[in-house]
Structure 1
Amino acid sequence: MSKSKHLLSSSLGKKLIMSLTGLFLCTFLIVHLIGNLQLFYHDQGKAFNDYAYFMTHFTPIKAVSYLLYASIIIHAIYALILTIHNRKSRPVRYAMTNGAANSAWNSRNMGILGTVLLVFIVTHMSNFWWKYHNDDVPYIEYRTDLSTQETTATELTADGFSEYTKYTDNGVEITKARDLYRQVQFAFKNWGLVALYVISMAALSFHLIHGFKSAFQTLGFDHKRYAPLIRFVGIWFFGIAIPIGFAAMPIYFYFFS
């Protein structure tokens, strides 16, 4: 037990925790992006609103969400601890050492990138997660003719909505839901918020390009057989494709919705 405590309190132990929580957050990014891509469906937000309800009410996913929140907090705390420890270990900052000159910019500025992302997460949660969970978004009713698959949407008042419902009446599927899609549409008409999202996704790109590779190195997957694949996935998938996917959403709603 004492060995385990010593490992977790050591610099290596902290890096292991950072690596594991970081990789878990990477898997979340994939799931979250897949769900958010439903914002691009031309169905007046029905698919996205169904997805939002499912993600917030399906018990296994709700349980994983608490693990997600804990991982974000733990990842941020341990990043701060390691940053402070590293600065104390090198109290005198040289103008330019060979190591600093040869290291990548993102590897030397993970603290700055992480701070930008933390501000982004708080802003994102307050605009969408908090409003959705506190009933501070519009309400909508969808009517889908099952024979033609044509869907019409009508905004509901608070009096006309109690909770998410879906049922069929005379060949028409009726869905009543909180309209998070409309909240997204409204929020991304704010150019300042759009700019914050785009800048944050650039920060996410730099953060993941270094962090993804470093996580596997910390876990011991630094063999020359695996390194090229890890580097490829870290750069092209997590460093480029995922941030572009997330950044495309606010840009789309600001200019085209």
Structure 2
Amino acid sequence: MSEFKQTFNSSLGKKLIMALTGLFLCTFLIVHLGGNLLLFSNDNGFGFNVYANFLTHFPPIEVVAWILYLCIVVHAVYAVVLTVRNRKARPVGYAVQPKSDASWSSKNMGLLGSILFVFIVIHMGDFWYKYKYTNEVGFKEYRTDLATGQTTESAYTPASADFNHSVSTENNVEIVRVKDLHARVTHTFGNIWYVLIYVIAMGALSFHLLHGFQSAFRSLGWVHRKYTPIVYAIGTWLFAVIIPLGFALMPVYYFFVHKG
């Protein structure tokens, strides 16, 4: 047990933890983007609101969510610990900085990570916290005619304060009542400052993943002449381009198209 503890207290152990939590967070980004693409559906927020309700009321998903929050904190804390340790190991800088082949993103992972951590706190405060723990998010009722598939929506005021959601059927009409997180998204993305902060954070995410994804595989020792180029391509195009761009398009799209 002491050897296990010693291993994970070493620099190598901390890098392994950074790699594992980082890859878990990368997996989350794929799932999160997939769900958020529902914001582009022309359904008055129906799909997105049902998706948000599912994420916050399905027990297995809630367990995974708390693991996610833990990974974010651990990833951030270990990043700070490793940065401080590296600086203590070389307290005096070189008089002349030697040339380095390291990329800009690898040299500025601390700055990029700090931007992302601040953004996550702001983002969760605006959406997750207000959705789960305040009354600032209203309710929406969706009525779908099961014969025609046509859906209409209207504001809904629950009779009790502890109401969360309901699904029922009356006269061949499905009635879904859920919290209207979509309205919160529309309102927030109507603020140009929030849109700018969001886009800047996604730029930081892009550079952070450009180095971090492939670095995680190196930390785990998963380096192979045949597969490393594949890892590099996935890290570059999927995680550093497609995913940040997909997230960044949402606030821009809502600001110009669905501005409340």
TM range (shorter): over 0.9
Alignment of 1:93-112 (within 5 A): 93-94=93-94, 95-99=96-100, 102-112=101-111
The equivalent of 2:224 in structure 1 is 223
Equivalent position amino acid for 1:199 in 2: I
Separation in structure 2 between the aligned mates of residue 157 and residue 174 of structure 1, nearest angstrom:
14
Offset of 1:159 from its aligned partner?
4.2
How does 1:6-21 map onto structure 2 within 5 Å?
6-21=6-21
Match of 1:157 in 2: 157
CA shift for structure 1 position 163: 2.5
Q: Secondary structure at the match of 2:174?
A: strand
Query: Superposition RMSD on alpha carbons, in Å?
Result: 1.2
Normalised by the size of structure 1, how large is the TM-score?
0.97
Map of 2:41 onto structure 1: 41
- Give ranges in structure 2 of 5+ residues lacking alignment: none
What is the SS of the residue equivalent to 2:154?
strand
Where do residues 1-257 of structure 1 align in structure 2 (5 Å cutoff)? 1-94=1-94, 95-99=96-100, 102-134=101-133, 135-159=135-159, 162-257=163-258
CA deviation vs aligned residue, 1:20-45 (integer Å, no higher than 9, x gap)? 00000000001101110001111100
Q: Following TM superposition, by how much is the alpha carbon of 1:158 offset from its aligned partner in structure 2, in angstroms?
A: 4.9
1:30-77, Cα deviation, whole Å (9 max, x unpaired): 110111000111110000000001111111111111110100000000
Deviates more, 1:130-139 or 1:103-112: 130-139
The superposition leaves residues 129-185 of structure 1 with CA deviations (integer Å, 9 ceiling, x where unpaired) of 011002320111111111111111111235488220011110111111100000000
SS of alignment partner, residue 153 of structure 2: strand
Give unpaired runs (5+ residues) of structure 1: none
Q: 2:104 & 2:129 partners in 1: Cα distance? A: 35
| SS of 1:98 mapped into structure 2 | coil
Offset at 1:6?
A: 1.0
Taking the aligned partners of 1:138 and 1:93, their CA distance within structure 2 comes to: 55
Task: Report the AA paired with residue 169 of structure 1.
Answer: E
Poorly superposed stretches of 4+, deviation over 6 Å: none
- 1:157, 1:200 → 2: CA distance? 35
Larger displacement relative to structure 2 (243-252 or 87-96): 87-96
Task: Give the match's secondary structure for 2:197.
Answer: helix
Counterparts of 2:132 and 2:126 in 1: how far apart (Å)? Answer: 11
Query: For 2:178, what is the secondary structure of its paired residue?
Result: strand
> Secondary structure of 2:35's partner?
helix
